Every structure is written in C-alpha cells, then in structure tokens.
C-alpha cells in the first residue's frame, strides 16, 4: 500500500445487494409469467408472507411494496392520523419519521440510549403529552429496543406501540424473534437490506383485526370479498418482488453466516486501533450482523469520522455515515424544532458524529475486511503521529 495508490480498484459498497440462487429466481419468475398472475395477493406473495410470519413467529404477515408505506399502513391501522404525535428516535433512517409525516402525523423525536442506540425509555415517557397517539421504536442496526419497558410504558398510557424492524429480520429479543412485539412490526426488503425483494416490506402482527385492516388498506380499502371497506392506498407487493424475496430468504442463513464472520473479523482487526470501536451486537441474542458500524472517538483516533470516511473513499471503500445527521437535524423537522424536537438530544448528536458503516455482505470477504482495516489502521496511525493531516496514508 503506497501513498496515493488505491487499496481497492473496484468500489466496496455498504448495502450491496445479496443475490440468492438465480436459477430458482428465474424459475419463480417464469411461473408468475406462465400463470399470468402478477399482483393482487398472488401465490408467491402468499408463500412469502407465510415464510416471513414463520421467521417472525407471528400469526400474520402482510407483505407490502416497501417498509415506508408499511409504516404508514400500520400507523393508520392502529388509528394514527393527521396531527397525532408519534414519539420516534431521531437516530434512524429518515424513512421512519418521513413515513409518519407523509400521513400527516407529527414525529416527535426522543433521544437514544448509548448502549443500544435505541429509544431512551425515560425520555419517551417525558415526551408523552395530550396529543401523543403512538410510539414507533426502531431496532437500529438490528439491536432490539428496550421492548419490555416500552411495552409497559405504552400500555400504561394506552397508546399503540409499533416497531420499525427494517434492520432486524432474524434478530431476537430475550430469545424471541423480532416481529411479535408491540401492536405490529415492519420489516424492509429493500435491495440494500440483507434479505431483499428488490423493493418490499412486511407488516407482521398477532392482531387479527389489525392484519385485516392492513390488508384492506394496502389494496385501496378492498376486503377479500372485493367490498370497499374504507380508504386505502396501493402498497401491494407484486409477484416478481415475492419471487426475489423467497429466493433471498432461502439464502438468508448463508448471508447471515457471512455477515457474522465479517463482523467478527472487523472486531478482531480493529480491536487494537486506538479510538476505533466496532459497535456491539446485542449480547445473548441472535443477530443478522447486516451492519458493521464503527465509532470514531476523534480525540483518541487523532482524526474525526468525516476525515476517516474521506480517507476510506479515496481507497474506494464507500463507507456511509449512517445515521448522520440525526433526523431532527434534517428537513423538514429541523425547521420546526418546537414541534418535532422540544428537548435537546445530546446522545443522538454525539452518536451521529461518531458512527460510520463499513462494507459487509456477500460481496465482502476476509481479504476485503483486511484491506479496509489496514486503511483505517494506517489513517489512525498517521493522524496520531502527526505525520499527516489524516488525509494522506503513508507507505506501508
Ligand atoms: C431501509 C429503512 C426503512 C425504509 O425501508 P423501505 O423498504 O426502503 O421503505 C425504514 N427504516 C429504516 C430504519 C431503514 O433502514
């Protein structure tokens, strides 16, 4: 590795799609083409729903076109509407609050707790007011929220609790699969998620009536008898998406093994790099390890997250500062803090300055992990020795 030379000729991405068995995918797509059944609750969608419900351990799975509309449908299905406040962490992908904002609900941002990166329960409680009509927790990077405490809090106040489980397929909380908590949980199968259906999502729940409402709402308000039962949208999953979703699910164990191996390798290789720490997975739980997130402690590392990120990019390692800025610092929320962020969010702000997601998934093997870690190690070493401004990497 010499001064200006790139460590990787081809870019290494965060969230590069995992592809399962192509032959199975093509077979399934051919089946849909032969059946001339492309959408509207087709056989592949129903099979996909069964598989996801099994994994989540829930009675129902309602497949949808993406998690963003899934959150909207689930929120409407629990009665959240225009002007209703929903408490949500700011440390998440902006889809979480946008989904609420787009249906006229008002996201109110809570801080996160340091260890889990998820909603700070005491702060959620403090934010509950007369207009609060829901709590939307996020199992960020697959780390479960403090579910028991949030459930008790929501019950005490008689407000529905939903979970954005976009990162948490195949993860557990106290040994039980994510999916069966709160009123409903929402998965994403977007192409960058470790199991994907090109685009897609699912609402999982044990509540029969909620599932019926969600099924109708995703399909213009139609019930199974084709009666219009109320207002709705189009949030259906189509057969090609389900074909990919099923094929991807079949390979989920392999994807997870690779992600776990990569996570372990990153942890090992970075363990002695000062100021760099790989964020921990939930102790004692199953996790999909689909994100490798490091925290950069700038005073110790001698360089900040953004500097390290630009060094990595120069070497074709397309790391991502997920999730930065916090949602409360993004439009439209940032322009109306009185409405969306009534309290300061110091832990969120500290976290958003430190985090950086590194490439993993099927396109990343041990050699790539070693290369990425070498860049990080040398950048930190150069920055700490004052040999460079943290931008230049010295000859190895
Ligand atoms: C990806 C993601 C979403 C949105 O998923 P889509 O399927 O793209 O709508 C929502 N929340 C979080 C935390 C995500 O990472």
Residue 69 Cα to ligand 1 midpoint, Å, equals 10
pLDDT, tens digit only, all 396 positions of the chain: 335 688 999 999 999 999 999 999 999 999 999 999 999 999 999 999 999 999 999 999 999 999 999 999 999 999 999 999 999 999 999 999 999 999 999 999 999 998 899 999 999 999 999 999 999 999 999 999 999 999 999 999 999 999 999 999 999 999 999 999 999 999 999 999 999 999 999 999 999 999 999 999 999 999 999 999 999 999 999 999 999 999 999 999 999 999 999 999 999 999 999 999 999 999 999 999 999 999 999 999 999 999 999 999 999 999 999 999 999 999 999 999 999 999 999 999 999 999 999 999 999 999 999 999 999 999 999 999 986 554 544 433
Residue 42 Cα to ligand 1 midpoint, Å, equals 24
Task: Identify which of 41, 33, 35, 47 has the alpha carbon closest to the alpha carbon of residue 64.
Answer: 41
Residue 102 Cα to ligand 1 midpoint, Å, equals 14
Q: Is the peptide bond before 332 cis (omega within 30 degrees of 0)?
A: yes
Yes or no: say if 5 and 371 are a contact pair by the CB < 8 Å rule: no
Q: Is the CB of 249 under 6 A from ligand 1?
A: no
Total-model pTM: 0.95
Fold of 252-319+359-384: 3.90.1150
Q: Is the CB of 95 under 6 A from ligand 1?
A: yes
Q: Is the CB of 138 under 6 A from ligand 1?
A: yes
Q: Is the CB of 190 under 6 A from ligand 1?
A: yes
Q: Ligand 1, residue 200: give the atom nearest the CA.
A: 7
Burial class (CB in 10 A: 0-12, 13-18, 19+), 130: exposed
If one counts every other C-beta atom within 10 angstroms of the C-beta of residue 28, the result is 22
Q: Is the CB of 92 under 6 A from ligand 1?
A: yes
What phi, psi does 238 have (nearest 5°)?
-100, 170
**pLDDT for 387:** 60
Nearest CA to ligand 1 atom 8: 190
Q: Is the CB of 70 under 6 A from ligand 1?
A: no
Yes or no: say if 88 and 107 are a contact pair by the CB < 8 Å rule: yes
Residue 166 Cα to ligand 1 midpoint, Å, equals 5
Q: Ligand 1, residue 92: give the atom nearest the CA.
A: 13
- Distance (Å, rounded) from C-alpha 218 to C-alpha 101? 18
**pLDDT for 393:** 46
Domain with CATH 3.40.640.10 in the chain: 22-250
Task: Identify which of 382, 227, 208, 206 has the alpha carbon closest to the alpha carbon of residue 311.
Answer: 382
Domain with CATH 3.90.1150.10 in the chain: 252-319+359-384
- Distance (Å, rounded) from C-alpha 300 to C-alpha 379? 13
Q: Is the CB of 164 under 6 A from ligand 1?
A: yes
22-250: CATH class? alpha beta
Q: Ligand 1, residue 201: give the atom nearest the CA.
A: 7
């Amino acid at each position: 590795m010499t001064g200006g030379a790139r460590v990787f000729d081809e870019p290494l991405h965060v969230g590069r799609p995992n592809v399962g068995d192509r032959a199975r995918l093509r077979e399934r797509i051919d089946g849909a083409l032969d059946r001339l059944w492309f959408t509207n609750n087709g056989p592949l969608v129903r099979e996909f729903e069964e598989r996801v419900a099994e994994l989540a351990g829930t009675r129902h799975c309602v497949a949808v076109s993406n998690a963003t509309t899934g959150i909207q449908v689930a929120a409407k299905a629990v009665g959240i509407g225009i002007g209703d406040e929903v408490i949500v962490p700011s440390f998440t992908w902006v889809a979480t609050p946008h989904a609420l904002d787009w249906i006229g609900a008002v996201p109110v941002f809570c801080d996160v707790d340091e260890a889990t990166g998820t909603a700070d329960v005491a702060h959620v409680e403090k934010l509950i007011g007369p207009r609060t009509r829901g709590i939307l927790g996020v199992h960020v990077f697959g780390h479960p929220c403090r579910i028991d405490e949030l459930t008790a809090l929501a019950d005490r106040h008689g407000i529905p609790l939903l979970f954005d489980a976009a990162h948490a397929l195949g993860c557990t909380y106290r040994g039980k699969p994510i999916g069966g908590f709160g009123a409903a949980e929402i998965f994403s199968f977007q192409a960058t998620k470790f199991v994907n259906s090109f685009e897609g999502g699912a609402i999982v729940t044990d509540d029969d009536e909620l599932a019926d409402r969600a099924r109708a709402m995703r399909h213009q308000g139609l019930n199974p008898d084709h009666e219009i039962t109320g207002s709705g949208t189009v949030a259906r999953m189509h057969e090609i998406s389900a074909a990919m979703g099923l094929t991807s699910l079949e390979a989920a164990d392999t994807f997870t093994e690779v992600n776990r191996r990569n996570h372990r390798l990153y942890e090992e290789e970075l363990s002695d790099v000062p100021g760099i720490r790989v964020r921990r997975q939930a102790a004692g739980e199953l996790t999909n390890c689909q994100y490798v997130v490091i925290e950069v402690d700038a005073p110790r590392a001698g360089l900040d997250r953004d500097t390290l990120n630009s060094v990595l990019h120069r070497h074709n390692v397309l790391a991502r500062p997920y999730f930065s800025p916090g949602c409360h610092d993004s439009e439209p929320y940032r322009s109306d803090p009185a409405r969306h962020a009534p309290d300061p969010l110091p832990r969120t702000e500290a976290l958003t300055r430190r985090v950086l997601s590194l490439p993993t998934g099927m396109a990343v093997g041990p050699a790539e992990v070693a290369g990425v870690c070498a860049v990080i190690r040398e950048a930190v070493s150069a920055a700490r020795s004052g040999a460079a401004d943290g931008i230049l990497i010295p000859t190895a």
